[in-house]
């Protein structure tokens, strides 16, 4: 076989291998992409509020309806904002984690009592424990809309400048608490 | 002609696939029958009520993600419709109201996603795939043409053919 013919044969084999490998690679790529998609939670909508200043609000306290609390009072410290309601089942599930967190005295936890009856809410806290430094009442859900709340419970981590740094949708799991929320709080507390 | 027909078939299939994709992601302009009445216009002003309904149809309910807030009776949808209604009454424009929603819930709240960096693939992906498919089809057809084109006869073959023809004539 001449050198030219050998070269031509080689290039034709390579072409054949490429024709076989290219679709295979495309197929594997697409499979990985779609397989990963199976494990994504469509209910977890990324919030556009992360990295933005938390809405400033003034709302009555759950324990003293005649007192208005302003979120400006929390500037300068890292705090956790937990949206809950007595009618919300998953809130009951995550509640012990917040009781534990409160016992550590690491960070103030503020509650937003979302579209609830004050009587039921107070009873709920008496029964399950009250980890909240204070709870504000969002009777008509407007504060919830400002925070982009669409499913209770939701939990926000807000830094010293009042910027939302993290949002957890749905009940906080022990993993999320230990691996994400607490480390983030510690890190934010170190920042000026 | 056969080859050309095949190419047309491939292109048609690709077009259909692209159309199906586009339809899947397209905004639900008209609500399915039976749902139109769920958003009860509570205002007496029919123009505002109509605007509210049209805006509500463009906004996704985040609780029951496959319905607009006009079709859904979830608590959140009711609250968001109230927001839309109040803002219309306050004289805000449609785009201001849409902005209010996207600031809080992100682009996900829109049934028709805006055209920007992160949605380029969503908008143009199907057409890019169509182009790639057409290119592949064209290459395949061209390659086939090259294979099928008859090779010219060598001198030896020509001589053999001539001998055969001559022999045929002799018998």
* Better-predicted residue by pLDDT, A154 or B64: A154
Cβ of B110 under 8 Å from any chain A Cβ?
Answer: no
Q: With an 8 Å Cβ cutoff, are B79 and A145 in contact? A: yes
Mean pLDDT over B36-46 rounds to 55
Examine the domain organization and report whether A77 and A21 are in the same domain. no
> Which residue does chain B place closest to A52, by CA atoms?
B103
Q: With an 8 Å Cβ cutoff, are B106 and A45 in contact? A: yes
Q: With an 8 Å Cβ cutoff, are A150 and B65 in contact? A: no
Residue A76 lies in a domain: yes
Question: What DSSP character marks residue A61?
Answer: B
ipTM for the assembly:
0.78
For residue range A1-39, list pLDDT tens digits in order: 566 667 777 778 888 888 889 889 999 999 999 999 888
Examine the domain organization and report whether A149 and A85 are in the same domain. yes
Q: How far apart are CA A92 and CA A99, in angstroms?
A: 11
3-state DSSP assignment of residue A44: coil
Predicted local distance difference test score (pLDDT) of residue A17:
86
Q: How far apart are CA A88 and CA A136, in angstroms?
A: 17
Examine the domain organization and report whether A120 and A27 are in the same domain. no
Predicted local distance difference test score (pLDDT) of residue B34:
43
What's the mean pLDDT when you consider all of chain A?
91
Q: How far is B83 from chain A (nearest CA, A)?
A: 9
Chain B interface, best mutation among A88, A145, A147, A149, by max B CB count within 10 A: A145
Question: What DSSP character marks residue A175?
Answer: H
Cβ of B79 under 8 Å from any chain A Cβ?
Answer: yes
Q: How far apart are CA B102 and CA A41, in angstroms?
A: 20
Residue A46 lies in a domain: no
Q: With an 8 Å Cβ cutoff, are B104 and A141 in contact? A: no
* Helices of type H across chain A: 3-38, 89-104, 118-128, 142-146, 174-175, 182-190
Examine the domain organization and report whether A186 and A111 are in the same domain. yes
Residue A51 lies in a domain: no
Q: CB-CB: which of A45, A48, A147 is closest to B62?
A: A45
> Which residue does chain A place closest to B76, by CA atoms?
A150
Please tell me the total count of domains within chain A: 2
> Which residue does chain B place closest to A142, by CA atoms?
B79
Q: CB-CB: which of B63, B75, B102 is closest to A48?
A: B102
Cβ of B65 under 8 Å from any chain A Cβ?
Answer: yes
List the domain range (segments joined by +) for residue A66.
58-190
Q: CB-CB: which of B76, B83, B103 is closest to A150?
A: B76
* Helices of type H across chain B: 2-25, 46-58, 75-89, 94-105, 120-148, 155-170
B17's CB contacts (< 8 A; 6+ apart) are B126, B129
Examine the domain organization and report whether A70 and A32 are in the same domain. no
Contact between B107 and B113 under an 8 Å Cβ cutoff? The reply is yes
Q: What is the DSSP string of B12-25?
A: HHHHHHHHHHHHHH
Residue A33 lies in a domain: yes
Cβ of B139 under 8 Å from any chain A Cβ?
Answer: no
Residue A180 lies in a domain: yes
Cβ of B62 under 8 Å from any chain A Cβ?
Answer: yes
Whether B19 has a pLDDT exceeding 70, the answer reads no
Predicted local distance difference test score (pLDDT) of residue A45:
78
Q: How far apart are CA B6 and CA A182, in angstroms?
A: 62
Cβ of A85 under 8 Å from any chain B Cβ?
Answer: no
Examine the domain organization and report whether A19 and A63 are in the same domain. no
3-state DSSP assignment of residue A182: helix
Examine the domain organization and report whether A114 and A28 are in the same domain. no
Least reliable range by pLDDT among A5-14, A102-111, B156-165: A5-14
Least reliable range by pLDDT among A81-85, B3-7, B49-53, B54-58: B3-7
Confidence band for A42, pLDDT divided at 50, 70 and 90? confident
Give the residue from A139, A144, A140 showing the smallest Cα distance to A169: A144
Examine the domain organization and report whether A18 and A103 are in the same domain. no
Size of interface A-B (CB pairs under 8 A): 41
Residue A131 lies in a domain: yes
Examine the domain organization and report whether A114 and A160 are in the same domain. yes
Q: How far is A148 from chain B (nearest CA, A)?
A: 5
Mean pLDDT over B35-39 rounds to 45
CATH number of B27-111: 1.10.8.640
């Amino acid at each position: 076989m001449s050198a030219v013919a050998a070269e031509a044969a080689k290039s034709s084999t390579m072409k054949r291998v490429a024709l076989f490998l290219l679709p295979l690679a495309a197929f594997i790529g697409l499979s990985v992409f779609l397989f990963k998609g199976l494990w994504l939670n469509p209910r977890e909508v990324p919030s556009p509020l992360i990295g933005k200043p938390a809405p400033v609000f003034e709302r009555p306290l759950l324990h003293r309806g005649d007192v208005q609390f302003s979120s400006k009072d929390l500037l300068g410290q890292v705090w956790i904002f937990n949206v809950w309601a007595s009618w919300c089942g998953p809130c009951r599930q995550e509640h012990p984690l917040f009781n534990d967190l409160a016992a550590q005295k690491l960070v103030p936890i503020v509650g937003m009592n979302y579209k609830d009856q004050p009587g039921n809410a107070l009873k709920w806290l008496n029964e399950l424990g009250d980890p909240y430094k204070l709870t504000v009442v969002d009777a008509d859900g407007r504060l919830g809309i400002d925070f982009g709340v669409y499913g209770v419970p939701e939990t926000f981590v807000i830094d010293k400048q009042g910027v939302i740094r993290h949002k957890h949708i749905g009940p906080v799991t022990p993993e999320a608490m230990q691996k994400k929320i607490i480390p983030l709080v510690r890190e934010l507390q170190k920042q000026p | 002609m056969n080859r050309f027909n095949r190419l047309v078939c491939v292109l048609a299939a690709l077009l259909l696939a692209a159309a199906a994709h586009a339809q899947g992601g397209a905004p639900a302009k008209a609500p399915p029958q039976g749902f139109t009445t769920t958003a009860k216009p509570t205002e007496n002003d029919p123009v505002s009520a109509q605007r509210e309904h049209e805006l509500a149809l463009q906004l996704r309910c985040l609780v029951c993600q496959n319905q607009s807030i006009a079709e859904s009776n979830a608590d959140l949808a009711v609250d968001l419709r109230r927001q839309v209604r109040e803002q219309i009454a306050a004289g805000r424009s449609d785009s201001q109201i849409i902005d209010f929603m996207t600031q809080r819930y992100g682009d996900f709240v829109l049934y028709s996603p805006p055209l920007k960096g992160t949605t380029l693939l969503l908008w143009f992906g199907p057409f890019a795939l169509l182009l790639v498919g057409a290119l592949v089809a064209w290459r395949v057809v061209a390659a086939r043409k090259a294979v099928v084109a008859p090779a010219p006869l060598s001198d030896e073959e020509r001589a053999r053919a001539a001998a055969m023809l001559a022999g045929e004539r002799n018998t």
